[in-house]
Structure formats: structure tokens, C-alpha cells
Amino acid sequence: MTASTSGAVPTRKRRRRTNLRQNVAGWLFVGPFGIVFLALLVLPIGYALYLSLFQKTLMTGTTFAGFDNYLKAFDDPSFLKGLWFVLRFSLVLIPIQMAISLAIALILDTVTSKFARFSRLMIFLPYAIPTVIGALMWGFLYSRNFGPIADVFGAFGAAGPDFLSNNLIFYGLLNVVTWQWAGYYMIILYAALQGIDPTLYEAARIDGASGWQIITKIKIRLLTPALVLILVFALIGTLQFFNEPKILQQLAAGAIPDDFTPNMYAYQQAFTLANPNYSSTISFALGAVVFLCVYIFMFATRKRGNFLS
């Protein structure tokens, strides 16, 4: 009995030393990422949250404001106008992006040739182009002074559409963002299609299903998780709309004001008006709206199980 107990003690010690070495090795692997994560994400967010709770004026200096800045933000016409724009933009943009990327993915999944591989690369290429370069390129194409679109219409004696005007800037930006992201979403859907078991198609054909029924009843149904993922990505990205309107602002001749979107308004407050406290408040207010929209969507789809049914 004594010998058995004395043999168990070294075994427990060896097990503890092994677990300790494994834990140390794990922390050594995770540590560098953790340091970068804390330094470049957690600390800046924490500091921005701290700034959002204060306000600075010439008369009183920096004072603690609590949630007054947030109450001010949700009563600020500039912030609310920008928020309303990105919500309207999302409602139009996201269905168009999803329909285009889904249609292209289904076509490329059906066509198996070298042309399909080349087409896949060409459709994905706009995503590989930096957003700034893409926006500048579209600014050149849209220009009524030297753009090719104006030249084509001019050759027929007509005036081309001014996509940088107040009336058409919505559609001009819609085209730019769709062109930029449709290829990326197409790749996600195409990869999901490649993961579907081909025997499902064979069984459906044996049962007499047509090509259209295979697409609608099998492929699109099984793509639901990927479509949900795309919708969440698109919703988050569109509500934080910034790069394209900011780049085209100089070319749009007043069609894109500084409070065009909430992020542009936050940028103006921070770098033009030197008001980092209110800029931080706007950023967190926008983050709360994004979180709320995504949560509502995820909750609704979870309750129904499938947002296509």
C-alpha cells in the first residue's frame, strides 16, 4: 500500500510538469498575438471610450460629461442624416451585391473550362485593387470633363450622366461598391458550392429534377450559411461606409458633404474641428447601431432557421 502511494506521487509530479510545459508553450505561441491585439485594438478602443465620456471647451477646458455626448449624438441632425443614408444605401446595395455574386458563382460552378477559371480571376480582381485606387479610377471614369463615359455620350451629341452630382451620387457610389466587393463574395459562395456533395445532384437528376430545381432546391438552400455570412459582412462594411465617398469628395463638387456618412462626420470632428471627444462618441454610437442591426438580423435568422424560407 505504501509502495503504491509512493509510486503515484512521482507520476502526478511528472504530469504536472508536462502540463506546465504545455501551458508555457501555448502561451509562448499565443503571447505575440496577444500583445499586438492588446496594443493595437484593445487599448485604442479603451482610450477612445474614455475620450467619449469627456468634452472640451475653451471656457471650461476638459470636463467629465458622462453620457451627455451620446445623448447629443443621437439628437445631432448631421449624425442622424448620415446614419439614414447608410441604412438606405445598405437596403439597396446588399441585395444587389448578393444577387450578382450568387448568379456569377452558380454560373461558374456549372461551367467547367479554362474560361471559367480565367473569369473567376477577372471577377475577383477588383477586390485585389486597393479601395483608394478603385475610387480614383471611378472618379476618372465619371468625370464630365475628361472621363470616357462623357466622351462616348458626346460622340452622339448627348450629355452623359453625371454620377458625381447631387442627384446621381447615390447610384454612382452604388456602382463603385458593387464592383469592388461582388468578386470577393462570389469567391465565398463558389467555395461553398465546391463543398456540396455531387451525389446530391446525381440523386436529384435520377428523381427527375431539372437544372433549375437543382439550383433552387439544393444549391441555394445549402448556400444559406454562406449567404448569411456575406450579408453580415456587407451590413457591417456598408454601415461603416467611408473610403469611397471620402476619396470622391474632392471630385463631387459639393455632392458629398463632410457629414455624408457617420464615419466621415467622425473624421471631420477629429481632424478638421479638433474635437476627438465627440468624434469618439460618434464612432461608438455608430458601433452600437451596427451591433444592434447585426444582432437583430442574426436573432431573426436563428429563430427561423433559414432566412430563405
Tell me which DSSP letter residue 113 carries: S
Determine the 3-state secondary structure of 58 from DSSP.
coil
The pLDDT score that the predictor gives to residue 116 is: 75
Confidence category of residue 256, pLDDT binned at 50, 70, 90: very high
Confidence category of residue 124, pLDDT binned at 50, 70, 90: confident
Assigned CATH class of 69-306: mainly alpha
The pLDDT score that the predictor gives to residue 5 is: 56
Question: What is the percentage of the chain residues whose pLDDT exceeds 70?
Answer: 94
Greater model confidence, 213 or 58:
213
Partners of 63 in the β-ladder: 55
The pLDDT score that the predictor gives to residue 308 is: 53
Contact between 248 and 256 under an 8 Å Cβ cutoff? The reply is yes
Specify the range with the lowest mean pLDDT, choosing from 57-61, 68-72, 105-109, 174-178: 57-61
Distance CA(256)–CA(165), nearest Å, equals: 9
Alpha helices in 53-130 (DSSP H): 68-73, 77-110, 114-128
**Does position 80 have pLDDT exceeding 80, yes or no?**
yes
Distance CA(37)–CA(34), nearest Å, equals: 5
Rounded to a whole number, what is the largest CA-CA distance in the chain? 105
Specify the range with the lowest mean pLDDT, choosing from 6-10, 62-66, 146-150, 268-272: 6-10
Sign of CA dihedral 186, 178, 143, 241: negative
**Does position 125 have pLDDT exceeding 90, yes or no?**
no
Greater model confidence, 196 or 145:
196
The pLDDT score that the predictor gives to residue 286 is: 92
Locate 2 and state its grid cell.
Answer: 505504501
Distance CA(246)–CA(278), nearest Å, equals: 20
Question: Per residue in 94-104, is it b (16+ CB within 10 Å) or e — as a string?
Answer: beebbebbbeb
The pLDDT score that the predictor gives to residue 144 is: 81
Q: Please return the burial class of 76, using the count of CB atoms within 10 Å of its CB with bins 0-12, 13-18 and 19+.
A: buried
Closest CA to 256 of 170, 145, 149, 177: 170
The pLDDT score that the predictor gives to residue 307 is: 54
- Alpha-carbon distance values, 175 to 179, 181, 240 (Å): 6, 10, 17
The pLDDT score that the predictor gives to residue 34 is: 92
Question: What is the percentage of the chain residues whose pLDDT exceeds 90?
Answer: 46
Can you give the three-state secondary structure of 188-206, one letter per residue?
HHHHHHHCCCHHHHHHHHH
Confidence category of residue 84, pLDDT binned at 50, 70, 90: very high
Contact between 261 and 248 under an 8 Å Cβ cutoff? The reply is no
Q: Please return the burial class of 20, using the count of CB atoms within 10 Å of its CB with bins 0-12, 13-18 and 19+.
A: exposed
Locate 60 and state its grid cell.
Answer: 471650461
Under 8 Å CB-to-CB from 169, ≥6 apart: which residues?
Answer: 163, 252, 255, 256
Specify the range with the lowest mean pLDDT, choosing from 13-17, 96-100, 184-188, 302-306: 302-306
Confidence category of residue 115, pLDDT binned at 50, 70, 90: confident
Q: What is the residue-averaged pLDDT of the chain?
A: 87
The pLDDT score that the predictor gives to residue 4 is: 54
Closest CA to 214 of 199, 195, 201: 201
Instruction: Return the H-helix or E-strand segment holding 54.
Output: strand 54-57
Contact between 94 and 238 under an 8 Å Cβ cutoff? The reply is yes
**Does position 42 have pLDDT exceeding 90, yes or no?**
yes
List every span in the chain annotated with CATH 1.10.3720.10.
69-306
Distance CA(65)–CA(268), nearest Å, equals: 21
Beta strands in 143-182 (DSSP E): none
Greater model confidence, 111 or 280:
280
200-255 pLDDT tens trace:
999 999 988 888 899 988 999 999 889 988 998 998 889 889 999 999 998 887 88
Distance CA(143)–CA(251), nearest Å, equals: 8
Residue 185 neighbours by CB distance under 10 Å: 25
Greater model confidence, 73 or 11:
73
Confidence category of residue 261, pLDDT binned at 50, 70, 90: very high
